[in-house]
């Protein structure tokens, strides 16, 4: 049971928490307040409205770089990832030197699982003499998705030289260690992120799950409860217990593998 629970947590961790590093501020990409599976109807409505508004502007002037970028970002936020990549690809063809479009296109490619292509495109979105820490972090996530964990960590370390202590980068670094099954190092990085006054709820979630993966479930629950209203804390703890108690999950696939989705990618 303990082994099954740990494997399930690994699945949930990789499909839910490797999420926030592509291009501005969050996207392995995007988790908000808690680990409970709540959905926000108002957020979905806002997302649809953003797609409608930016889409109308884009269709009125498809060659406009700002309109294409805004539409692509709205499509990504609404989950229309393939369409976002298609819009941004055409925009980069029309504006091959536009680094903002390249960054957006690279993020969209990563959303779609085209990790090597995303890495290559993101290389063109900034330069060694003027690096963007957000893009360095996203590139790290693409390398992690490709199984190149040592390389990925070099990108996170480069980002941290620009923004020491940045919790989103530390969170990605921690998750990189999760992927290579070095849970103590993962916890170390995530605790640094958690200690930051700028850490958001995703960092708490990541840390709690990594601690849970090590079998310290009571401590994981305590972290999940921290600083949350009573009703939200209860929902989070209930969901964590549900994950720990569930015996089977079709997402697990090969028991020897740790499923991966996407890492922390800033928008």
> Span 125-133, mean pLDDT?
92
Residue-level pLDDT at 246:
56
The H-or-E segment that residue 8 falls in is helix 2-16
Distance CA 42, CA 134 (A): 28
pLDDT of residue 40: 53
Mean pLDDT of 215-225: 88
Determine contact, residues 123/143, Cβ cutoff 8 Å. no
pLDDT value at residue 265 = 47
Average pLDDT over residues 243-254: 46
Q: What are phi and psi of 95, to 5 degrees?
A: -130, 70
Summarize pLDDT for 178-192 with one digit per residue, the tens.
999 999 999 999 999
* 21 phi/psi in degrees, rounded to 5: -150, 5
pLDDT (0 to 100) of residue 94: 95
| pLDDT score at 267 | 46
Q: Using one digit for the tens of pLDDT, what is the confidence trace for 7-36?
A: 444 444 443 444 333 333 333 432 223 344
- First and final CA of the chain: distance in angstroms? 38
pLDDT, one tens digit per residue, over 47-57 is: 889 999 999 99
* Local structure of 30: helix, strand or coil: coil
User: Per the structure block, which two tokens stand in for 66?
Assistant: 């700002």
- The whole-number pLDDT of residue 41 equals 59
CA 51, CA 94: separation in Å to the nearest integer? Answer: 21
pLDDT band, residue 125 (cuts 50/70/90):
very high
For 61-117, write each residue's pLDDT tens digit: 999 999 999 999 999 999 999 999 999 999 999 999 999 999 999 999 999 999 999
- Collapsing DSSP to helix, strand or coil, 12 comes out as helix
Instruction: Determine the Cα–Cα distance for residues 152 and 179; give it in Å rounded to an integer.
Output: 11
Structure pTM?
Answer: 0.77
Q: Which domains does the chain have, with CATH numbers?
A: 2-264 (1.25.40.10)
Which of 266, 262, 202 has the alpha carbon at shortest distance from 22? 266
Report the percent of the chain where pLDDT is more than 70. Answer: 74
Measured distance CA(240)–CA(76) in Å, rounded: 28
What's the token pair of residue 79? Answer: 């989950």
Q: Which residues of 58-92 are buried (b: 16+ CB within 10 A; e: fewer)?
A: beeeeebeebbbbbbbbbbbbebbebbbbbbbbbb
* Distance separating alpha carbons of residues 161 and 143, to the nearest angstrom: 19
List the structure tokens of 39: 């959905």
Lowest mean pLDDT among 60-69, 138-147, 158-167, 252-261: 252-261
Cα 119 versus chain centre, distance: 15
pLDDT digits (tens, 9 = 90+) for 226-235: 877 888 888 8
**Helix, coil or strand: residue 21:** strand
Given a cut of 90, whether residue 39 has pLDDT beyond it is no
pLDDT of 51 reads: 93
């Amino acid at each position: 049971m303990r082994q099954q629970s740990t494997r399930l947590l690994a699945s949930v961790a990789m499909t839910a928490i490797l999420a926030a590093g592509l291009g501005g501020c969050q996207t392995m990409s995007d988790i908000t307040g808690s680990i409970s599976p709540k959905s926000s109807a108002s957020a979905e409505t806002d997302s649809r409205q953003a797609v409608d508004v930016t889409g109308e502007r884009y269709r009125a002037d498809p060659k406009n770089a700002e309109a294409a970028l805004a539409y692509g970002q709205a499509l990504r936020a609404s989950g229309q990832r393939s369409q976002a990549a298609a819009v941004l690809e055409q925009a980069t063809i029309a504006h091959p030197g536009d680094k903002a479009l390249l960054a957006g296109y690279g993020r969209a490619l990563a959303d779609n699982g085209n990790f090597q292509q995303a890495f290559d495109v993101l290389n063109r979105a900034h330069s060694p003499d003027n690096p963007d820490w957000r893009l360095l972090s996203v590139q790290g996530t693409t390398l992690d998705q490709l199984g190149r964990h040592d390389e990925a960590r070099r990108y996170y370390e480069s980002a941290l030289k620009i923004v020491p202590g940045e919790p989103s980068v530390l969170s990605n670094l921690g998750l990189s260690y999760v992927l290579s099954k070095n849970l103590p190092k993962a916890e170390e990085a995530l605790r640094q992120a958690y200690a930051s006054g700028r850490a958001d709820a995703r960092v708490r979630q990541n840390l709690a799950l990594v601690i849970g993966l090590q079998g310290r479930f009571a401590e994981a629950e305590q972290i999940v409860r921290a600083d949350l209203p009573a009703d939200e804390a209860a929902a989070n703890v209930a969901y964590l217990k549900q994950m720990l108690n569930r015996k089977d999950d079709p997402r697990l696939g090969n028991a020897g593998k740790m499923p991966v989705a996407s890492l922390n990618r800033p928008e």
